[in-house]
Every structure is written in C-alpha cells, then in structure tokens.
C-alpha cells in the first residue's frame, strides 16, 4: 500500500519538524515548503493527496497560494487544511472563501489534526 503524500507549507522550521514527525509516525509521506511560492513550485513537481497550509507565510500568503491552487484544474480537488497561530474572529471564513476545506488553529491537539487529515484521506 502506498503512503499518502501530504504537502506541509510552514515557514517556521520548528513547526515543520513537529508536523513532519507526527505525520511520518502515522505512515504519511511528507514534502515541505516554507512559503506560498515554494508550495506552488512543489506542486509543479508532485501532486499530494492533501495540503496543510499555514495562513501567515512570507512572499505569498497561504490564502493566496490556496486561491492559485483552486484556479488550477489539475490541483483544484486537493483538500487544503488551513492552519494558523493568529486565529481571529472571521479567519475561518476567510480561509473557506479562499478555498480551504477545513481550518484549525494553533495550538491544536495532534489527535485532532490526525482525525481531520484521516477524514479527508480515508473517505
């Protein structure tokens, strides 16, 4: 059985390591990008089964990157989970308007994140 591939877009190196370790231990393959532009470059090379997209990113925000993903017919159906540490009232609405399928605020329970991921990948 092939491992499901997840693109994790996060500018914080420490947060990338935490998510990488969590996903790897749960039998997911992980590719990483540090900003929205790098995410689009990664998507030109490989098509993941799911994207974890930080909202606050340098160069190109996670929401702008998601809009570009949704505009590309080849990538448009990939589930995108928005992740943010600066959760404000209405941020979830902005994420959904940009095309995200789900939204989770930091800090989050690893169990909750895995459950959300499995909800998209196991259906």
Of 60, 78, 61, the residue nearest 69 (C-alpha): 78
Give pLDDT, residue 107: 85
Q: CATH classification of 4-121, choosing from 3.90.1150.10, 3.40.630.30, 3.20.20.10, 3.40.50.2300?
A: 3.40.50.2300
Q: Can you give the residue ranges of every domain in the chain?
A: 4-121
Give pLDDT, residue 1: 56
Q: Which residues contact 116 (CB under 8 A, 6 or more apart)?
A: 81, 102, 104
Write the DSSP assignment of 94-120 as a string of letters. Answer: HHHHHT-SEEEESS--HHHHHHHHHHH
Across the 123 residues of the chain, what is the mean pLDDT of every consecutive 10-residue run? Answer: 90 95 96 97 97 94 97 97 74 90 91 96 83
Give pLDDT, residue 86: 62
Give pLDDT, residue 87: 57
């Amino acid at each position: 059985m092939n491992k499901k591939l997840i693109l994790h877009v996060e500018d914080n190196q420490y947060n990338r390591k935490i998510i990488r370790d969590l996903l790897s231990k749960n039998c997911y393959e992980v590719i990483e990008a540090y900003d929205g532009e790098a995410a689009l470059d990664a998507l030109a090379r490989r098509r993941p089964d799911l994207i974890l997209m930080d909202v606050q990113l340098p160069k190109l925000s996670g929401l702008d990157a998601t809009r570009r993903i949704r505009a590309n017919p080849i990538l448009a159906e990939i589930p995108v989970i928005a992740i943010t540490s600066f959760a404000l009232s209405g941020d979830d609405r902005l994420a959904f308007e940009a095309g995200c399928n789900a939204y989770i605020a930091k800090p989050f329970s690893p169990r909750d994140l895995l459950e959300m991921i499995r909800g998209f990948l196991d259906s």
